Amino acid sequence: MNKKEKRIVIAIAKDDVARRDVIDALRCRDAVEESLRARNYTVETLRVSKEDFYGPQNIRDMLEAMKAFCVFNLFEGFGDQPQKEAEFAAQLEKMDIPFTGNSAYTLEKCLNKSVLKALLEENEISVPKGYLIRNIEDIDRVTIEPPFFIKPASEDASVGIDNDSLVWSSRELLKKAEKKLSEFPSGVLIEEFIPGKEYNVGMMGNYPYEVLGISVIDYERYTDFSPFLTYDAKWNIDSVQYHAIVPEVTEIISKTVKKQLYDICQRVGGLVRGRGYFRVDIRQRREKLFVLDVNPNPDINRDSGLLRQVYHKGYRYEEFITRLIAMALRHYRKKRIW
């Protein structure tokens, strides 16, 4: 393989939003580039701006000029336009260029949480009961009992999840839902809150997927904190909760629960057409498991939750990164054969 063939373009957002998850994506770019250069790849960075979406040829022209062999896709949309993540992947698909991670279909399906919830429900996968609210008048449709959980309907990275997300009474719901709608006018989901252990299951490859690991949070061990992870708990290194609650990769799970988790995540991955790498978040209420979310292209910094699972599985960081490229190329070649 010559130098031209090994030219990898890392795609990332050029974003002015000073949000922790956005800044963390830049750190991830550095880690990926370091790993690829260590494997003798030629690496360039494509910083995708909002203006690049104005003309349909802009992104195509930039990638053609860079002579990309494969795009390592770390583009996650913009702080105020997360839907651009799927649009960018769709452009790569139209260009017929290999890229890491999930397809435009998967990214779009998982970003729209009410659509994802409906898809899982239709296929008899348990999810929390919930309602999509686009204006405060819609709240009259909510017939579930408290406690409630409020989250934006079309955000990722736990954006909009804070201490106001858990609502303990119907009286509080109106006030807090109104506040959330002012912050996220495209809509919020009001769901029943599912107490219990939380499982984060990392998946890799194509169906049937390789399970990287299962991380567990037992909130009964953290009674001084909220029984869920806020945005700050996941991203803000100055947050006490960020350091106190770290999902633990473990094998100490009953065989019954482990099999259920594996079966559910394989089915969920197939339904959303996941590929490359993704994570499924699940809560256990007594004996029943509920899918909370599906996160395609989660954070792959060296110290991220998914990478703790990668290490637990026995892979080194550089090996994981190059495996993602190999999977992207296999998918591309298989697509062209068919």
Please indicate whether residue 116 or residue 2 has the higher confidence score (pLDDT). Answer: 116
Average pLDDT, the chain: 95
Domain 110-114+118-124+195-317 has CATH 3.30.470.20: yes
CA gap 111, 267 in Å, rounded: 18
Contact (Cβ atoms closer than 8 angstroms) between residue 63 and residue 97 = yes
Read off the pLDDT of residues 51-87 as tens digits, 9 standing for 90 and up.
999 987 899 999 999 998 999 999 999 999 999 999 9
Going by pLDDT thresholds of 50, 70 and 90, the confidence category of residue 5 is: low
Length of the chain in terms of residues written: 338
Going by pLDDT thresholds of 50, 70 and 90, the confidence category of residue 6 is: confident
Read off the pLDDT of residues 262-315 as tens digits, 9 standing for 90 and up.
999 999 999 999 999 999 999 999 999 999 999 999 999 999 999 999 999 999
CA gap 137, 211 in Å, rounded: 43
pLDDT of residue 18: 79
Phi-psi domain of 168 (left: phi exceeds 0; alpha: psi -120 through 50; beta: other)? alpha
Tokens of 166: 């858990």
- The residue among 149, 116, 162, 133 whose CA lies nearest residue 291 is 116
pLDDT of residue 46: 97
CA gap 22, 29 in Å, rounded: 11
**Domain 7-99: top CATH class:** alpha beta
CA gap 172, 162 in Å, rounded: 15
- The residue among 294, 312, 310, 324 whose CA lies nearest residue 109 is 294
Read off the pLDDT of residues 11-26 as tens digits, 9 standing for 90 and up.
999 998 778 898 899 9
- Would you give the end-to-end CA distance of the chain in angstroms? 24
Tokens of 136: 């405060």
- The residue among 112, 90, 89, 111 whose CA lies nearest residue 101 is 89
CA gap 326, 323 in Å, rounded: 5
Report the predicted TM-score, pTM, of the whole model to 2 decimal places: 0.96
Give the amino acid at 254: S
Considering the four listed CATH numbers 3.30.1490.20, 2.70.70.10, 3.30.1490.190, 3.40.50.300, the one that applies to the domain covering 129-192 is 3.30.1490.20
Half-sphere exposure of 181 (CA within 13 A, CB side): 17
Going by pLDDT thresholds of 50, 70 and 90, the confidence category of residue 336 is: low
**In angstroms, how far is CA 111 from the centroid of its own chain?**
8
The ranges assigned to domains in the chain are 7-99, 110-114+118-124+195-317, 129-192
